[in-house]
Structure 1
C-alpha cells in the first residue's frame, strides 16, 4: 500500500455466510506464483500455533487478539502492488500498513471458523478476497479492489460482514471528496503501467464522493468509548480545509484495566511498527489534523 497522503488517502488496500464458506475464486487462479501472493509463512504458522486459544472467542475479540499477536511487525507500504497488470488477493505478514494490519487480523479470525485442516494460507487468502474486493470478488482487475476506506465500509456493511456504527454513535455528516488516486496516479504501480485505468478510477472516486460520509467528532469520542468493543475497526478521519477524509485505520483494544486503546500499524515517521497505542480519544489529539472516527464492528 502506498504511503498515506495528507487527505483522503486510499488505504491500499459478500454475501452472507451460510453453513459453509462462500464460494470465491482461489487466489492461485490468477496465474501469479504463490510466493508472490502470499509472504510470511513463518509468521502465519506462529499465529496458527496460538489459534486454539482464539477460535472460540466472539469474532471481535478474536480479531483483537490476533491483532495484538502481530504487535512489533514492522510497517511496510506497497505490499499490495504485486504485479504490473494482474490484481489478485495477497497477504504479506512480514510487513504491514494500517489497512493490511486490520484486514489480515480480520481474515485470519474468520478463517478460524473453518475446520482446523483448513487453516492454511489458501484459506486466509479466500477471506482476504471476501473483505478487500467489491461484492467480495476479485475479478483480476485493479478496479475490483476497494481502494477507499469509506467505500470499503459501505460495501462490507451492505453485505452484512460488518456493522457501520458511526451514525448510531453520534456521527455527523461531512463534506468530502475523493481525488487522491487521480491526482497521484503515477505513484500506483498498476495505474502507472496501465494508464487506461485512470478513467475507471475517476468514475469510482466520483461515486465514492457522491455517497454520504459520517464521522464522530473527536471531541465526542471519549463519551462513546464505553460503547466500543475490542476488535471494532476504527477509521480515522482528518481535516483538509473544509473537507473531511479518511486518513488512517486500526483496531480498538480494551485492556484489563478497562481502557480502550488504539492498536494500529504506525508509519515510519512515528513508531514504524504495529503498536498498542494510547487511549483512543487521547490518540486523536496527538495530530491536529485528525477530526474524528468511523466505527465498523465485525459481525462474522
Structure 2
C-alpha cells in the first residue's frame, strides 16, 4: 500500500484548497532540507528515518507550533519542533527520499497526508491530535505498522478525554462548541478501541526486537491521555536503543541514557508503543 501511496504522490496534481502557514524562511528551509536529505546515502527505510532525524539535531524545541491564527492551517515550520511535529517532518522527508521526489509541493502533500485524518485537512478536528489515533490512521493509510503486540505488548483500554475535559488549553477548542463536539466524537471512537502497550517493566527484555527508525510513543498514567511524548528509536554505538526526539529540555537530541533507563526518570510513564515505518 505504501508503494501505491508513493506512486499517487508523485503523479498527483497538487492544488491546495486549505490555507498553508509557511514563512519564506520556512520554505527556504524545506528546500534546503530536501537537498540535504537527497544527498544522504540511500538505505532501507529504518536507517533513512534515523539519518533524516539526525539532520535535525539541535533544532529548538517549541511547543504548540501548530496553534497559529484563528483557523486550522497546514503549518510548515522546521525552525522549531515539538515531539510530534519532529516525527511528522522526519517521516515526510524520509518518504520523499524513498520516492526520489524533490518538490516543495510533494513535501506539503506528504505532510498533510501524515498529519490529518485520511490525509486531508478539513478543519481543526481533522488533525490527528491523539497519538494512538495518529498511529491507527497512518496504519490505515499503509504508511506504518503498529508492532507493539508482536514484540510483547499487551492490550489495554483507557478512557481518553483529556482534550474535551481541558478545552481551555486548546485555542481552537476553548470557545468553539462545534470543534468540541467533533473532538468528543474522536474520543468516543478511541474509547471503544483497545491499543497495545509494551509495559515499562518488559521493555528491557524486548529491546532487541526494536529497530532503528521505529517510532516510539510513550504511554502514560495521566488521566484522559494516551501518549505524552514520541520520538525515534536509534541503536547507538553502545548497542542499546536510545530515543532521538524533540526534547522539552530544549532541542532535538539523542537521549544520553538508553530508552529503558530514560523512561525510569518519568514517573507517569507506563510503557511504550512501537510503530514501524513500512
The two structures have a TM-score, normalised by structure 1, of 0.84
- Note the residue ranges of structure 1 that are not aligned, 5 or more in a row: 1-13
Deviations 1:72-118 (A, max 9, x none): 11111111123312x33322101000100111000011112344xx4
Partners of 1:24 and 1:137 within 8 A in 2: no
The 8 Å contact of residues 21 and 75 in structure 2, kept in 1 or not, is answered as no
Whole-angstrom distance in 2 between the partners of 1:123 and 1:216: 35
Equivalent residue, structure 1, for 2:75: 90
SS in 1 for 2:60: coil
Cα distance in 1 for residues equivalent to 2:116 and 2:218: 21
User: Does residue 1:272 correspond to 2:250, yes or no?
Assistant: yes
Q: Secondary structure at the match of 1:191?
A: coil
> Which range moved further: 248-257 or 98-107?
248-257
For residues 191-214 of structure 1, the C-alpha deviation after alignment (integer angstroms, 9 at most, x for no partner) is 235332111111111111211021
Contact 1:60–1:230 (8 Å) recurs in 2: yes
- 2-structure distance, mates of 1:150, 1:67: 21
1:12-91 alignment, distance < 5 Å? 17=4, 20-22=7-9, 26=14, 28-32=16-20, 34-35=22-23, 40-54=26-40, 56-85=42-71, 87-91=72-76
Q: Does 1:120 align with 2:103?
A: yes
Structure-2 separation of matches of 1:232 and 1:113? 16
Pairwise CA distance, 1:43:
3.6
Quickly say closer, same or farther: Cα 1:27–1:235, change in 2 above 3 A: farther
User: 1:130 aligns to what?
Assistant: 113
Query: Is contact 2:161–2:225 with CA below 8 Å preserved after alignment?
Result: no
Q: Distance in 2 between matches of 1:190 and 1:25?
A: 30
What is the aligned counterpart of 1:258 among 239, 249, 253?
239
- 1 or 2 for the larger relative contact order (CA 8 Å, sep ≥6)? 1
| CA RMSD in angstroms, aligned pairs only | 2.4
Shift of 1:158: 2.3
Helix, strand or coil for the counterpart of 1:54?
coil
8 Å contact kept, 2:145–2:275:
yes
Partner of 1:148: 130
CA distance in 1, matches of 2:138, 2:124: 18
CA distance in 2, matches of 1:96, 1:210: 31
Aligned to 2:230: 249
Cα distance, 1:127 vs. partner? 0.8
Q: Deviations over 1:235-281 (max 9, x none)?
A: 0011137x8721111100112342211111111xxx21111002111
Among 189, 192, 195, the alignment partner of 1:213 is 195
Query: Measured at CA, do residues 255 and 53 of structure 1 come closer, stay the same or move farther in structure 2, by a change above 3 Å?
Result: farther
Deviation readout 1:175-229 (Å, 9 max, x if unpaired): 3121111122222222235332111111111111211021001111111111111
Q: Is the contact between residue 90 and residue 128 of structure 1 (CA under 8 Å) also seen in structure 2? A: no
Give the paired residue count.
Answer: 276
Larger proportion of helix: 2
